[in-house]
Structure formats: C-alpha cells, structure tokens
Amino acid sequence: MASTSKASETELPEENRTRLCEEFASIAGTDSAVAQCYLAENDWEMERALNSFFEADMEKVFEVGSSPEKPSSPKKKKLKSEGTAPPECVDLTGASPASAHKPPEEEEEDNDKLSLISWNVDGLDTDNLAERARGLCSIIVLYTPDVVFLQELIPPYVQYLKKRAVSYLIIEAGEEGYFTGMMLKKSRVKFLESEVVAYPTTQMMRNLLVAQVEFKGHKLCLMTSHLESCKGHAEERMKQLRVVMRRMTEAADDVTVLFGGDTNLRDPEVAKVGLPTGVCDIWERLGKQEHCRYTWDTKANSNKAARYVSRCRFDRVYVRPATKDCIPRLAPDHMALVGLEKLDCGRYTSDHWGIYCSFSAG
C-alpha cells in the first residue's frame, strides 16, 4: 500500500517529496507535476491526495448528459449476451441497457431474474489504476447486476464506488491493505445483515464475507472470498474451502446460498475436499462451456506480461438451492466472462476475467 505519512512540504526532505510524487504518479497513472499538485494540496498525505485525485479524475464517468468522451476514456462496449449497444448515457441508478426503453420501476418489476458478477479486480496492480477502475465501473453500468462480488479491492476503489455507484449498497470485509467486498442493488436486493468469518491460519489476510439478503421473495445467503493463493498453499486453500462448504450446507433450508470468488482452486483440490450434496458448480451445471472455462489466462490476458502460459479456472461460483418444500428455486441459466476487451491504455480491467451469471426462478 501507498505511504500514508503526513508532513508539510517544508518538513519533508526533497528526496522524500520526490519519492511520494513518483509513488502517486505510479498509482494514479499521471505525471509528477500532477502528483506534486495533489500531494501539496493535501499536506503530502498520500491517501488523502489519492482520494482527491480519484474523485476529480472520475467525476464524470457515470453522469448522465456528460460532455463527449475524451480520447483517454474507455470505448463503449456491447453487451455480448444481448448483442445490443447501450444508450449514449447510462447511469448506475437507471434501468439496465437491455431494457432501457422501459421505466426503471417497470423493468425491475418485470424482471425476476437474479444477476451476479464475481471478479478479482487486481487492485494491488497500480499500473493504469484509474482507467482500470473506470473499466470495472463500465462493466457494472452495462450489466447492472443485482449482486457484485469483488476481490482484491483497495481503499481507492471503495471510495470511488461509494461516491459514484449510488444505486448500490457496498459491504466491505476490510478497511486496509486489500480485501473483498459486495455490491447490492438497493432497488432489488434488501440487505439484512452481514458478517466476516475469519480463516484462523491464513497467511494472506483472507476471510469469508457473508451477507443475508432478500430478493423478490427469495431468502439469499451471499458469500464471497479470496482463497489462499499459489500452488504451495494448497492445504490452507482446501481448509478454507471446507469452511465455505460448511457454511453453505448449514444455511437454513428456506435459503438459497450463492458463493462466488477467486478460489485459486485446482480441480484435484476440489475433488479431494468434495462438494457437499446439494451444492453445485455453476460452470459445471451449465455444461462446462469452453468459452468461459478459464478465468485466469495468461495466453489471452497480457496484464501480467507473463512469459509462460497458464490457463486456470480460479474464479468459481457455487450455489446451494433452498431445499424446503414449496420454496421457489433459483436455478442458473446463463454464464459468461466479462472484461475481455482491452481498455484504451492497452491493458485489461484486471488480470482475471470476471464471471457474469443469471438465475431464473423456478
């Protein structure tokens, strides 16, 4: 994380000011002159300066009726699942692009499908951070999901989302370093309560974020996590998966449980732990479609500039439907990857592809 020390310009040696400017410029994707301006205005306190920059730089991203796009702004994208282009101006508080011809209240009443995006946004990568954050929000605008699971969030992302994504309630599993979070569409998802479940032996600040909500008469338990990374931490990762599965199976029988996140899992690890009866992997349930198999793919995603090819299904979504008699079921009916198009900076929104899922009431 960036330095957060506070000192006036006269108290800081020139070499320290230079270092802070370089750090700010690296994180914000700007030059040293802009960095010096924001740092000086904020008493050389890095976190305040970055927050000020993000608020100013991204102010018009979601504004309806904003001025024409600057050359550096993200290109407009098409909804792959619908094949239609979004309206010229889209706000997070408006209707989804696929039904923009309807009033928001009518569209929301008619649509009983639950939509979800799960995405590791790679907030720890500070290169092109501002434009990649805009890329994340562009996808949210395009798909207007009811629920968003995010991993590797950092404070600037959260600060920005809270300011601009006003139609969503944002829940965080932490405040410092990096952490997971959820976004819940206020007009469609009723938030009840949340908790953070600790992984006692994690070495990477990992935990499980759990939220109880209601959606169109359905009781939902939502869960997201970023399980332990790297091949050498398989035992800890499987231990964490067991915690997730236990929480899924222990939920009340009138509750549908949805888990999504960057699991870092390899198939043999899942086979060793085993999925409990009633819990299914969305990708497997929908026919193991090849086009959305690999969420970590250094062959197609160049953000890490890896010299090796690694294609893995690290990001997964699991569901355990409600089992009580006479309770309507939510069943998965669609899955796709998002974030597949490069931004104007020549990089992708994240080094992971995001997962988009929808569920129909049955």
- The residues carrying an active-site annotation are 262
Rounded CA-CA distance 20/84 in Å is: 45
Nearest to 113 by CA among 125, 128, 98: 98
Rounded CA-CA distance 362/170 in Å is: 29
Residue 73 φ then ψ, to 5°: -80, 155
Partnered with residue 261 across adjacent β-strands are 225, 316
Task: Calculate helix-pair angle for 46-57, 32-41, nearest 10 degrees.
Answer: 110
Contact 140, 117 (CB under 8 A): yes
Nearest to 26 by CA among 10, 46, 12: 46
Per-position DSSP letters for 275-290, written without gaps between them: PPTT-EEHHHHTT--G
Residue 199 φ then ψ, to 5°: -100, 105
- Which residue type sits at 293? R
Rounded CA-CA distance 258/302 in Å is: 30
Contact 298, 309 (CB under 8 A): yes
Per-position DSSP letters for 282-319, written without gaps between them: HHHHTT--GGGS-SEETTT--TT--SS--EE--EEEEE
Rounded CA-CA distance 289/356 in Å is: 13
Contact 117, 356 (CB under 8 A): yes
Rounded CA-CA distance 225/173 in Å is: 9
State the pairing for strand pair 147-153/114-120. Answer: parallel
DSSP-based three-state secondary structure for 350 = coil
Cβ neighbour number for residue 139 with a 10 Å cutoff? 20
